[in-house]
Amino acid sequence: MGAALAAWFGANARALPWRTSIAGTRDPYLVLVSETMLQQTQVSRVLGKFDAFVRRFPTLKDLAGADEADVLGAWSGMGYYRRARNLHSAARMVMMEMGGVFPRDPAEIRRLPGVGRYTAGAIASIAFGLAEPIVDGNVSRVLLRVHGREVASDDKKIQPWLWERAGELARVTETPGVVNEAMMELGATVCLPPPAMPRCGVCPLRAGCAANRDGKQLEIPRPKIRGAKVTMHCGVVVVRRNERELLVEQRAREGMWGGLWQAPTIESMEGPISQELLGAAVGIDAGRLRPEASFEHQTTHRRVVFQVWRADVGAEFAARRGLWMTVGTISGLGLSNAQRRILLESVEGGTLWT
């Protein structure tokens, strides 16, 4: 199985920017960056960010020496900003506590902030060629289909079995990093999740796949059970001063979108934010607020409803909260996708402020 996977990967692997050399010889820092970016994020989104990020922070030392604000700014648009903070903290830990040398021992790799069993296994196998397993959504789907296990991939009871199967694969091959990447690639490009039909005709494992044999590709794995999303309402007021500056504020470090910048915003789980409350929050008469836009933003656990208002003020206006910044400055800050849309794009698709 390992030999078939390695041969298939060699002939079919996508040319991704973090695959600049064969597994087992790569810079562990670049593996850490790419795997951190790929957590809960599609490859297409990472493609637009990876090169720019590593140009800005080409080495572990560069990242460790950067200000957190610069790291969050470079991460802007990727979402799940805790990953960026953990990546920054991991770089600092290697530089300050590990002598600037990236650890090879999987147990030591797992000490790094934000690094769990999967990421440690990816770094150990891909960068150092160690026989360490990885299990993510793609790998789980492949293993469950090959072995015909009709369970959900996130079922806690099946996790030990999945890690043991992945461990067997890593231990019986001379190139565990290649086989690990092949399993991820197979799940991403061939052994596709529903509603797509897996491309079984080109799969190197089809001859021994129980799901393919029994015609249960779309039944394995079983669907994950997801709880209902809660709705959060966000009232936002975009204030422009002298046609050049916008009023922005930084969120608290902890919690949702922690530490990111935004237009003055009030949140509620109870219902929409009133125009009067928003006006009072920034010290502006509610009658001067004009409705600008409304839209929904989906996160893993929330449906966030944004209602955006707009106001123009003069130099004499004294805001009760926030700081004045130009659009050029704001564009380099760490912003959530929703706030980037609010502050930097108009509802007509052009620039909101010129």
Residue 254 has pLDDT above 70, yes or no: yes
Taking the mean position of all CA atoms in its chain, how far away is CA 325?
A: 27
At 323, is the secondary structure helix, strand, or coil? Answer: strand
pLDDT at 243: 80
pLDDT at 349: 42
Which range has the worst mean pLDDT, 69-73, 127-131, 179-183? 69-73
Mean pLDDT for the chain?
92
Delineate the domains of the chain, giving CATH numbers in brackets.
2-214 (1.10.340.30), 230-344 (3.90.79.10)
**Do 153 and 137 contact (CB within 8 A), yes or no?**
yes
CA torsion through residues 14, 20, 26, 31, sign: negative
pLDDT at 300: 77
Rounded to whole angstroms, the maximal C-alpha distance in the chain is 75
Measured at the CA of 252, the angle between CA 251 and CA 255, to 5 degrees, comes to 100
% of residues, the chain, pLDDT over 90: 79
Residue 348 has pLDDT above 60, yes or no: no
Residue 260 has pLDDT above 60, yes or no: yes
Residue 50 has pLDDT above 90, yes or no: yes
Distance CA 177, CA 38 (A): 17
- The reported pTM is 0.81
Of residues 255 and 246, more confidence is placed in 246
Residue 346 has pLDDT above 50, yes or no: no
% of residues, the chain, pLDDT over 70: 97
Give, in order, the Cα–Cα distances in Å from 263 to each of 162, 278, 291.
Answer: 45, 11, 15
pLDDT at 303: 92
Residue 234 has pLDDT above 90, yes or no: yes
Q: What share of the chain is helix, strand, coil (3-state, %, to 5)?
A: 45, 15, 40
| Model confidence pLDDT, tens digit, residues 74-91 | 998 888 888 999 999 999
Closest by alpha carbon to 236, among 259, 263, 272?
263
Residue 347 has pLDDT above 60, yes or no: no
pLDDT at 78: 84
Mean per-residue pLDDT, 241-257: 88
Closest by alpha carbon to 118, among 45, 167, 168?
167
Residue 296 has pLDDT above 90, yes or no: yes
Q: Strand pairing of 290-298 and 245-250?
A: unpaired
In the chain, the amino acid numbered 131 is A
In the chain, the amino acid numbered 83 is R
Closest by alpha carbon to 152, among 209, 204, 194?
194
Distance CA 303, CA 284 (A): 29
pLDDT at 56: 96
Q: Please, is 261 exposed, middle or buried when counting C-beta atoms within 10 Å of its C-beta (0-12, 13-18, 19+)?
A: buried
Residue 353 has pLDDT above 60, yes or no: no
Rg (CA), the chain: 24
Task: Tell me if residue 108 is catalytic.
Answer: no
Residue 324 has pLDDT above 90, yes or no: yes
β partners of residue 35: none
Mean per-residue pLDDT, 264-284: 94
Which range has the worst mean pLDDT, 38-47, 132-141, 210-219? 38-47
Residue 263 has pLDDT above 90, yes or no: yes
Give Cβ neighbours of residue 322 (< 8 Å, ≥ 6 apart).
Answer: 239, 247, 248, 249, 264, 282
Residue 227 has pLDDT above 90, yes or no: no
Residue 345 has pLDDT above 80, yes or no: no
**Do 303 and 231 contact (CB within 8 A), yes or no?**
yes
pLDDT at 52: 94
| Model confidence pLDDT, tens digit, residues 19-35 | 988 888 899 999 999 99
Give Cβ neighbours of residue 86 (< 8 Å, ≥ 6 apart).
Answer: 36, 113, 114, 115
pLDDT at 42: 87
Q: Please, is 318 exposed, middle or buried when counting C-beta atoms within 10 Å of its C-beta (0-12, 13-18, 19+)?
A: exposed
Copy the structure tokens of residue 326: 């130009």
Q: Which of 35, 132, 181, 185 is catalytic?
A: 35
**Do 179 and 5 contact (CB within 8 A), yes or no?**
yes
Measured at the CA of 176, the angle between CA 171 and CA 178, to 5 degrees, comes to 155
